[in-house]
Structure 1
Amino acid sequence: MYVITFANPKGGSGKTTSAMLLAEQIALSGGRVAILDLDPNGNILGWARGREEAGRSLPFSVHARPQIEDTVGLIDEMAAQADYLIIDLEGSKDQIVTFALSRTDLCIIPMDGSPMEARQAAQAVRLVETTSRMIRSPIAYTLLFARTNAAFLTTDERDVRQEMESNNINTLPVRIARRAPYTRIFRDSVLLAELPDLVAEEMKGKTASVTDKAQKQVASAIENARDYAQAVIDTLMKARAA
């Protein structure tokens, strides 16, 4: 089982959205996926409950935060159930975060490209490196630019990218842009793959131009998610081969 964790001490970094998009894309490709929601906000758990209440199936299992001392045992037990375990970490330096990182194959650190978030991401990097030294085993990590402008690369993001490259900090080549379909996933407890049909139903009676615009937004979001997931898997395979 591959364990992929998402870490950032700052809320609103796109951490939970990034975890959800990856889980869905892997599940669609046929992989067995489980999510462990360690974030106190419990947005993924809320999403799962919303689907169950609406009578929709879950494409992957979603697990709540265990007792701290049970974390490592739960992760190890999931190896019999899943090919990929995706963990949405809480933002603090709690012991449960360290335990989860100790079982991590790849830690993804989302950030929006601003200097302030770069400093927060640096804290996450230090936590990963500290845990790595503690367990005497390397933990691969990469930065992910999330919640970015879909239309263009901002000056701040370009500068932060250059700084990361100069410090030999790995960054995923694909960005996750800020898109309305990603917000809707949590608002309506839906999957990205369900949106084309939902939008088509909602657009009945609308003009062709309005319908086309709405569907293009969804198509762009799906394409972005697929490219992002592939970049994660490529990075994970390289890390495991190293």
Structure 2
Amino acid sequence: MYVITFANPKGGSGKTTSAMLLAEQIAISGGRVAILDLDPNANILAWAQTREAEGRDVPFTVHARPQAEETVELIDSLSDEADYLIIDLEGSKDQIVTFALSRTDLCIIPLDGSPMEARQAAQAVRLVQTTANMIRAQINYALLFTRTNAAFQTTDERDVRQEMELNNIPTLPVRIAKRAPYTRIFRDGVLLSELPDIVTQEMQGKTASVSDKAMKQVTGAIENARDYAQTVIATLTKEQVT
């Protein structure tokens, strides 16, 4: 079982959305996926529980935050049911975060490309490195730019990328753009793959130009999510081989 964690001490970095997008794309591809929701807000757990209560499908299992001392045991036990375990970490330097990182194959650190977010991401990098030193094993990690402009790369993002490159901090080549369909995942309790049918129904009676624009947003979001997931898996498997 591959363990992929998402870490950033700052809220609103796109951490939970990035975890959800990856989980759905892997599940669509046929992989068995489990999510461990360690974030105190428990947005993924609430999303899954709402869908289950309404009789709607959840294509992966979602597990609630355990007691800190039970974290490693729970992670190890999930290898019987999942090929990929995705963990949404809490932001603080809690013991449970260290336990989860100790079992991590790849830690993804989302940030929006601003200098302030870069400083927060640097804290997450230090936490990963400290944990790696503690367990005397390498923990692979990479930054992921999220909530970016879909049309172009901002000056801030370019400068942060260059700074990370100078400091030998790996970044994923793909970006997750700021797109309206992503906000609907938690707002409406939907899967990204459900949105084409939903939007088609919503656009009935609308003009062709309005319908095309709405559907293009959904198509762009799905393509972005697919490219992102493929990049993560390629990075994960490459690190495992090396």
TM-score, normalised with respect to structure 1: 0.99
Tell me how far apart the structure 2 counterparts of residues 192 and 27 of structure 1 sit (CA, whole Å): 12
Q: Deviations over 1:155-196 (max 9, x none)?
A: 000000001111111100000001110000001111000000
Write the letter of the residue equivalent to 2:77. E
Identity percentage of aligned residues: 80
CA positional deviation for 1:238? 1.2
CA positional deviation for 1:46? 1.2
- Unpaired stretches in structure 1, ≥5 consecutive residues: none
CA positional deviation for 1:47? 0.8
Write the letter of the residue equivalent to 1:40. P
Q: Which runs of 4+ in 1 moved over 2 A?
A: none
Trace 1:1-242 onto structure 2 (pairs within 5 A). Answer: 1-242=1-242
Aligned pair count reads 242
CA positional deviation for 1:152? 1.2
Which stretch of structure 1 is more off in the superposition, 113-122 or 47-56?
47-56
CA positional deviation for 1:49? 1.6
Tell me how far apart the structure 2 counterparts of residues 18 and 62 of structure 1 sit (CA, whole Å): 15
After superposition, the CA RMSD in angstroms is 0.5
Q: Deviations over 1:107-156 (max 9, x none)?
A: 00000000000000000000000000000000000000001111211100
Write the letter of the residue equivalent to 1:149. N
TM-score, normalised with respect to structure 2: 0.99
Write the letter of the residue equivalent to 2:232. V
1:218 alignment partner, SS class:
helix
1:3 alignment partner, SS class:
strand
